[in-house]
Amino acid sequence: MNIAVPKEIVEGERRVALVPETAKRLIGEGHTVRVEHDAGRAAGYPDDAYTVVGVEIAPEAVSLWGAADVILKIHMPAPLVSGGHEADLTRPEAPVIGLLQPLSNLAGVRALAKAKATSFSLDALPRITRAQSMDVLSSMSTVAGYKAVVLAAATLGKFFPMLVTAAGTIAPARVLILGAGVAGLQAIATARRLGAVVEAFDVRAAVKEQVESLGAKFIEDESTATADAEGAGGYAKELSEDQHQRELALIHKHIVDADVVVTTALIPGRPAPELITDAMVSAMRPGSVIVDLAAEAGGNCVHTRAGEDVMHGHVLILGPRNLPSTMPTHASQMFSKNMATFVRHIVSDGVLKLDMEDEITGATCITRNGEIAHEATRKALAGGGS
């Protein structure tokens, strides 16, 4: 099986889909691995690191794609600077596997379908036990949750931990985490390691025990009725208007005491819920920092601008894009292991075996034989999405 890893062409992307350590294991299992020249350089993996473990370096993309049996990528295939599209380089029998995020990249889905390409997106994995080792979303959320707190600590004009000094005692920073999924839990753990006092909120009451096990206080109120806010797969579901207003009132009560707020709330396939209103921002302490991890989905704060740092009154609001790419070495390492596990799932005895009745294979297939195989994506396209 010829596994190909092209260089990512999305602007600002520094990760690579397969690192040398994982490539070495795949080669040991009988596969050939080819990586495009300099594909891993920005992540700290130069070509020499690949060749020493037996990886072949391809000088350019066209020959790499053309000879591949499987293509591993970070992003959805995209338009080429030289003209044309990455999707046009694929062979129908050679699946493209990555974190394609089809609901946010419908133009890319159309290009894949037009090219009759087979594609799999690991953000569509079902939330089942045997898919956990392939869960790229959780891996990248871990990176994002950690980096969000590091960004906040570097930006905040205060210490995170309590300090007892000759100049007096410095009170610890107070951090509020909104959303206790993988990113939120990692943000809690990181803020606690840095010595902050941490509170966390989530509409899913089931995460309370996890929050408290990390040393944070789970904020709740009997009137917020959070117990029924967990949707399919453990994700949060959209609240009713009445529930949302009670949720906002609870957040407002606690945000006024926060030095740092990290928001992570996302609803799959929908715009990010607005959790921080203008009134909340105005009520925050001078010098406070908000890091909005939902910026690319519209943001959890009303003043968030994706890819920008916004100073609103006396509060700094960070709307980072693609935080995992800012920690490319470890992000690539985690991504790579998830991808290799998926490859092993669809390859048996060196032969590609796509069982569409399998709940992992079927759920993650986006395009095949010129058709849109993924139901949610098909509905989005039918609804006129772009």
Q: What HEC string does the chain produce?
A: CEEEECCCCCCCCCCCCCCHHHHHHHHHCCCEEEEECCCCHHHCCCHHHHHCCCCEEECCHHHHHHCCCEEECCCCCCECCCCCEHHHHCCCCCCEEECCCHHHCHHHHHHHHHCCCCEEEHHHCCCCHHHHHHCHHHHHHHHHHHHHHHHHHHHCCCCCCCEEECCEEECCCEEEEECCCHHHHHHHHHHHHCCCEEEEECCCHHHHHHHHHCCCEECCCHHHCCCCCECHHHCECCCCHHHHHHHHHHHHHHHCCCCEEEECCCCCCCCCCCCECHHHHHHCCCCCEEEECCHHHCCCECCCCCCCEEEECCEEEECCCCHHHHCHHHHHHHHHHHHHHHHHHHEECCEECCCCCCHHHHHHEEEECCEECCHHHHHHHHCCCC
- b/e code 299-324 from CB counts within 10 Å (16+ = b): bbbebbeeeeebebeebbbbbbebbb
Pick the catalytic residue from 63, 138, 246, 358.
138
- Residue 226 pLDDT: 45
The structure tokens listed for 204 are 């899913």
- Residue 242 pLDDT: 85
Pick the catalytic residue from 135, 202, 259, 292.
135
Q: 82 with 89: CB under 8 angstroms?
A: no
Pick the catalytic residue from 63, 133, 235, 285.
235
Backbone angles phi, psi at 377, to 5 degrees: -70, -40
pLDDT(209) > 70: yes
- Residue 284 pLDDT: 98
Every domain range in the chain assigned CATH 3.40.50.720: 2-134+328-382, 141-321
Provide the whole-model pTM: 0.92
Q: Which of 41-45, 232-236, 308-312, 328-332 has the lowest mean pLDDT?
A: 232-236
pLDDT(90) > 60: yes
Q: Convert the pLDDT of each residue in 345-362 to its tens digit.
A: 999 988 999 999 999 999
The pLDDT of 287-313, averaged and rounded, is: 97
- Residue 241 pLDDT: 81
- Residue 385's pLDDT band, with cuts at 50, 70 and 90, is low
Percent of the chain predicted with pLDDT > 70? 95
- Residue 81 pLDDT: 85
Q: 108 with 83: CB under 8 angstroms?
A: no
Domain 141-321 fold: Rossmann fold (3.40.50)
- Residue 70 pLDDT: 98
127 is catalytic: yes
Mean per-residue pLDDT over the chain, rounded:
93
- Residue 270 pLDDT: 85
The pLDDT of 114-134, averaged and rounded, is: 96
- Residue 9's pLDDT band, with cuts at 50, 70 and 90, is very high
C-alpha–C-alpha distance, residues 385 and 291, integer Å? 29
- Residue 223's pLDDT band, with cuts at 50, 70 and 90, is low
The pLDDT of 105-120, averaged and rounded, is: 96
235 is catalytic: yes
C-alpha–C-alpha distance, residues 13 and 20, integer Å? 18
Domain 2-134+328-382 fold: Rossmann fold (3.40.50)
Percent of the chain predicted with pLDDT > 90? 88
50 is catalytic: no
Pick the catalytic residue from 38, 127, 130, 321.
127
C-alpha–C-alpha distance, residues 328 and 323, integer Å? 9
Pick the catalytic residue from 132, 213, 245, 348.
132
pLDDT(225) > 50: no
The structure tokens listed for 309 are 């740092």
The pLDDT of 53-78, averaged and rounded, is: 96
